[in-house]
Amino acid sequence: MRRFCRILRFLLLTVAILCRNAVAQTRPHIILIVADDLGYNDVSFHGSTQIPTPNIDSLAYGGVILNNYYVSPICTPTRGALMTGRHPIQTGLQSGVIFASQPYGLPLNETIMPQYFQKLGYRRHMVGKWHLGFHKKEFTPMYRGFETHYGYYLGCGDYYDHTSEANEDYFGFDFWRNTTVDLTGIGQYSTELFRQEANNIIQKHNTSEPLFLYLPFQAVHSGNLPSGKYLQAPTKYIKKFPHIQNTQRRTYAAMVSALDDAVGSIVQNLKDKKMYSNSIIVFTTDNGGPANGFDGNAASNFPLRGVKATLWEGGVRGVGFISSPLLKTKGYVSNQMIHVTDWLPTLYTAAGGKVGDLKRLYGIDQWQVLQTNGKPVRNEMLHNIDPYDKTAAIRVGDYKLLYGPVMGWDGWYPPYQLSENSSQLTNDKTKINFSQHFDNNLVQEMEFGEVSLNPVRGSPVTIQCGPKPANASTNCQAKKVPCLYHIPSDPCEYNNIAASNMDIVTKLVAKITEYKSTMMVPPGNKPVDPAGNPRVNGGIWKPWLD
């Protein structure tokens, strides 16, 4: 009898292990790509006539283009929201970014995406930018659920020597492999380093286990501003854009092209490894583009209003899509409202997890919606409440309300076009129709980039603004009274309709007040700590409070 019981226990254990392995093998591989500071008008699937992005386009057209998708207006808040599924006002990351040696980060009591996926048996790798705190080692990726990290901690840096310069006094090296400073990449372009690292991870991956690869590129953020290295790209990419006369915009286009090639290469590696058919690829920006010289950059959100770090549509409406052979319905444009916090519950559900296991979320599970182009499950989203600069914005249904000192960088900025560094309307003589070029040459490795095999074509998703009134720049005085816009009919925020819709204004202001009272925690921002200066840490940006 005892022998029979032992045999039975062994058989049950064997079955349990086999079942667990079978489940692991069926969980999808998840590739989460973040482009840094990419403008809404900087991909050709949004109609850019300057910058072709054939690899990114192919994924977007073959998947689901998110046409009503929103992120936070700047980097750290979006990345925290992406990792936790919680709004920045819930985590204390709602005010600006972590700068230099400010000793704070994403709170350690927050469970983040790789930790959740670890529970589902995923292998978890990160390649690229962190920007969620590094003053103590416990705040860095290797202590927050990732098995490997290749990249950097701060918000920006030189693309070749991998130094980060906050100002003339705070300057140091910031590039890591796991928990060790890595000097081997000095002199090599970061987009290509991250492309190679991601491909190495894919090539070495045991396909019997599900892969979670978080890939936040440095591109296309500006470099070290105090040193004047605003935008950097390999010469071979810059030469592809002779039609762009403005030198900054030409270099920016080259940076986007290098990013597009990296995406194409990674997709091809997934196919070669026979992982693609069981993969989900998400592509997102972290915020709107820094246009017109903002932050030393040359992005474009045109015709949307505003830039990165603003609450206008140009600051918060994100470039995004999901692409996967596993989608039941694909090749469509989604107009359902989706927020960056939705990715955690959505991908967790797609991976076979139970969304009920995720606690205290702001994000909503959108997997079924995206699978079927189903009915919307989100009707509102808080863009932000910043108690320091006293700004706030919210979207409820079709209406967006914002108030506070939001009027800086509040214009409509076409792509740089002239040789001098100033923003001008696109000159018809320099405007190129890439659609014809794509039709004839897309399957070749053409001068505009390395194109993946069997590209998917589609029609660009563009913004239609309607007529611009003469008072578009002055009809909103949000520092004095809230402004209201009807986004579906006025995506470019030309017409402030608050005066004729005070009932809606009252409801949205009350909604913001409700968020303040029920969700918001104080910002975690702290002054720069001189003890974290690389000058006193061997020239390295590294944890200094261990």
Residues 220, 297: Cα–Cα separation, whole Å:
9
Q: How many Cα atoms sit within 13 Å of 537 on the Cβ side?
A: 21
Query: 151 has which bridge partners?
Result: 128, 176
Q: Spot the catalytic one: 46, 87, 125, 131.
A: 131
**Is residue 540 classed as helix, strand or coil in its secondary structure?**
strand
Q: Which of 530, 536, 546, 524 is nearest to 179 (CA)?
A: 546
Q: Is 131 a catalytic residue?
A: yes
Strand boundaries in 297-418, DSSP class E: 320-323, 332-334, 338-339, 380-386, 391-396, 399-403
Quote the tokens at residue 395.
Answer: 């979207």
Q: Residues 95, 359: contact at Cβ < 8 Å? A: no
Bridge partners (DSSP) listed for residue 165: 171
Tell me how crowded residue 424 is: count the other CB atoms within 10 A of its CB: 14
Instruction: Report residue 188 as tokens.
Output: 């090599």
Q: Catalytic residue, from 29, 46, 75, 125: name it.
A: 75
Q: Are 126 and 151 in contact (CB under 8 A)?
A: yes
Contact between residue 128 and residue 191 where contact means Cβ atoms under 8 Å apart: no
Residue 180 neighbours by CB distance under 10 Å: 7
Q: Which of 90, 46, 57, 504 is nearest to 314 (CA)?
A: 46
Q: Provide CB contacts within 8 A for 540, sequence distance 6+.
A: 172, 173, 174, 181, 534
64/330 Cα distance (integer angstroms)? 6
| Contacts for 432-440: CB closer than 8 Å, 24+ residues apart | 432/49, 432/50, 432/243, 433/49, 434/44, 434/49, 434/52, 435/460, 437/52, 438/44, 438/52, 438/54
Q: Is the dihedral of CA 442, 447, 451, 456 positive or negative?
A: negative
125 is catalytic: no
Peptide bond before 406: cis, by omega within 30 degrees of 0?
no
Terminal Cα distance for the chain, rounded: 57
Helices 54-62 and 247-272 pack at an angle, to 10 degrees, of 50
CA 441, distance to chain mean position in Å, is 30
Distance CA 310, CA 306 (A): 6
The whole-angstrom separation of Cα 80 and Cα 70 is: 14
In DSSP terms, 109 is beta-bridged to none
Residues carrying an active site annotation: 75, 131
